[in-house]
Amino acid sequence: GAARLSHADAQRQVLAQTANAIVTVVTAERVAEISRVSLKSALSTLDLNQRRAKLGASSAVDVLRAEQEVTLTRSQVVQADEGVLRAREGLGLSLGSSDPYGVMPNIRVDALASDARSVCRPVADPDTRADVRAARARVEIAERNVKSTDYAFAPTVDLLSNLGWTSNERATANQEHVTWTIGGLLTWQLYDGGLRYGTRSTNQAQKRIADEQLTQSRRLARVEANQAQRAVEVATRNLAVAGKSRQLAAEGARLSRIAFVSGHGNSFDLIDADRRLRSAELDLAVKEFELIRAQIAALLALSSCEV
């Protein structure tokens, strides 16, 4: 009963942690990929400034600023690679191994939600979630323990019966070979040193604890379900904003490069526009996977999983 339901809830949590670890790995790999693309762009900008400097159209400050941007981008690539390693190690721990685990390049992260539906059954009410049902089962067990102690105060009646046979009929009271005795024993324990009262108080305290745990489980399940649904809405809006920001940053970077090549812009505007584009692309990638993570969390928040 309670143990089986607790096991089912543990499976739900393990699935959620594993799916979150997979999304984290894919996100980290995507961030690392964008960082490398940004490094190529920064190197291209540096090369452009160096060529302009040879022609006398750029100053040494412009070249130095471009070199600083390349150095900063290289540092971000190193950090992104470390993030990938840590994410893979986290996935390995979720799978029960100390070795890092990666994911296939052709994996579809958006298919994780459908995969979760194949092993998890959605529930309509948070009160029917496995952890809440397990808490309710523990309350029922605590109630039975209290009742079992109450039964110890009642008297008990034992019925006794004995059937015997002997070859010497003169050795029996009824002068027969067969004897059959029937009796009853009434036992009523009036005092046992307070053991029953102490046991009853302990069981009542355990029942109150189980009641509070059930109330807390219900409250937590409802809050988690509401937060999970709200997180999907927030992630959807954030993704839309990030997509618009990335579009504007890309247009700004394009116009800045055109102005710089034609001699109407300066290196500061070009580098700043490229930096904004890089930041917008990273933010968009993170927001995309945050939406997928929120959708999986919303699915598992109201599910009963039995693997």
What span, in angstroms and rounded, lies between the C-alpha atoms of 231 and 20? 14
- Ranges of beta strands (E only) in the chain are 120-122, 156-165, 178-187, 303-305
What's the mean pLDDT in 115-132?
76
**Tokens (6 digits) for 7:** 């096991």
When mean pLDDT is compared across 49-53, 60-64, 134-138, 190-194, the lowest value belongs to 190-194
Q: What are the residues whose beta carbons fall under 8 Å from the beta carbon of 47, sequence distance 6 or more?
A: none
Distance CA 184, CA 250 (A): 95
- Which tens digits make up the pLDDT trace of 176-192? 777 778 888 888 777 77
pLDDT at 205: 92
Rounded Cα gap, residues 239 and 254, in angstroms: 22
CA separation for the pair 73, 98 (Å, rounded) = 31
pTM for the model stands at 0.67
Beta-bridge partner residues of 304? 121
- φ, ψ (nearest 5 deg) of residue 161: -145, 135
Residues of the chain above pLDDT 90, percent: 14
Please check the confidence at residue 250 and state whether its pLDDT lies above 70: yes
Please give the distance of CA 60 from its chain centroid, rounded to a whole number. 52
pLDDT at residue 240 is higher than 90: yes
In the prediction, which pLDDT does 306 show? 60
Task: Please report the pLDDT score of residue 50 as a whole number.
Answer: 83
Mean pLDDT of 6-18: 78
Q: Which positions ≥6 away from 198 have C-beta within 8 Å? A: none
Is the separation of the CB atoms in 159 and 186 below 8 Å? no
- The predicted structure's pLDDT at residue 173: 62
Long-range pairs, 222-227, Cβ under 8 A, ≥24: 222/126, 224/126, 224/301, 225/126, 225/301, 225/302, 227/301
Other Cβ atoms within 10 Å of 248 Cβ, number: 13
| Chain position carrying tokens 């996935």 | 91
Determine the residue type at 245: S
Whether the pLDDT of residue 307 is over 60: the answer is: no
Structure confidence at residue 239 (pLDDT): 92
Element (H, E) at 77: helix 60-94
Residue 169 Cα distances to 71, 178, 305, angstroms: 114, 8, 71
Q: Which residue shows structure tokens 């070009």?
A: 270
Q: Which residue, among 260, 148, 136, has the nearest Cα to 200 in the 3D structure?
A: 148
Helices 2-54 and 112-119: angle between axes, nearest 10 degrees: 170
Amino acid at position 33, single letter: E
Q: Using one digit for the tens of pLDDT, what is the confidence trace for 200-225?
A: 888 899 999 999 999 998 999 899 88
